[in-house]
Amino acid sequence: MNVEQVAALYWQLLLAVGEDPEREGLRGTPKRVARWWQEFIDHDPGRTDTAFEEDLVADTDRIVVVRGIIAWSLCEHHLMPMKLELLIGYRPCGSVLGLSKFARIVSAHTHRLQLQERIVDGVATDIAKATGSADVGVVADGEHLCMSMRGVRQDQARTLSHNFSGAFADGGAPGNQLLAIAARTELR
């Protein structure tokens, strides 16, 4: 990323909206914003593949659920923030994924211009790869500032999206169980 060019563009943006980039409150803002973009785009989530071998009893009702993962991203349509709360479930098959890896996987998908649905799909794919399980469910509840701050200004409207595979798909019990957990935890 070209930090200097981004700072120059923000300088021009401030001028274009009638602001003085040299005034007290804005002095240095274009450079700060450019550094934020660099931090956002160049984010390294770290290792996302640490799993622990476990000799789990084959139990078709066993699912692991991680909830309350909060992530921010930028909507690619308006370049405005979206706040997501994710709930992830999977059926272990010989190993369990380290808990911090769920948040790291989410982070790997949110640090770019995105769509909520693409984040959910990417997280589900990576959880399946990391766990070796075909049975994965991801639910995301999102607040999109493009809807809250502009246009219709619906600050209470939420977007709920999910990706279910394997036993979670097709209205099966694990998928219904995951949706019930999501409803009880009032994702917001």
The whole-number pLDDT of residue 188 equals: 45
Instruction: Compute φ and ψ for 151, nearest 5 degrees.
Output: 60, -120
Q: How confident is the model at residue 57 (pLDDT cuts 50, 70, 90)?
A: low
Q: How confident is the model at residue 28 (pLDDT cuts 50, 70, 90)?
A: very high
Query: 3-class secondary structure for 5-54?
Result: HHHHHHHHHHHHCCCCCCCCCCCCHHHHHHHHHHHHHCCCCCCCCCEEEC
Mean confidence (pLDDT) of the chain: 90
Nearest alpha carbon to residue 135 among 103, 178, 182, 105: 178
As a whole number, mean pLDDT of residues 62-87 equals 94
The whole-number pLDDT of residue 170 equals: 82
- The full length of the chain comes to 188
The whole-number pLDDT of residue 32 equals: 97
Per-domain residue ranges for the chain? 3-41, 51-184
Share of the chain above pLDDT 90, in %: 70
The whole-number pLDDT of residue 54 equals: 74
Interval 116-163: pLDDT, tens: 999 999 999 999 999 999 999 999 999 999 888 877 777 677 899 999
As a whole number, mean pLDDT of residues 17-39 equals 96
As a whole number, mean pLDDT of residues 161-167 equals 94
As a whole number, mean pLDDT of residues 84-112 equals 94
Alpha-carbon torsion angle 156, 13, 78, 71, nearest 10: -70
Domain 51-184 indexed as CATH 3.30.1130.10? yes
Q: How confident is the model at residue 180 (pLDDT cuts 50, 70, 90)?
A: confident
- Structure tokens given for 11: 């300088």
Interval 40-52: pLDDT, tens: 999 999 988 888 8
pTM metric for this prediction:
0.88
**Cβ count within 10 A of residue 11:** 19
Class of domain 3-41: mainly alpha
The whole-number pLDDT of residue 172 equals: 80
As a whole number, mean pLDDT of residues 71-78 equals 95
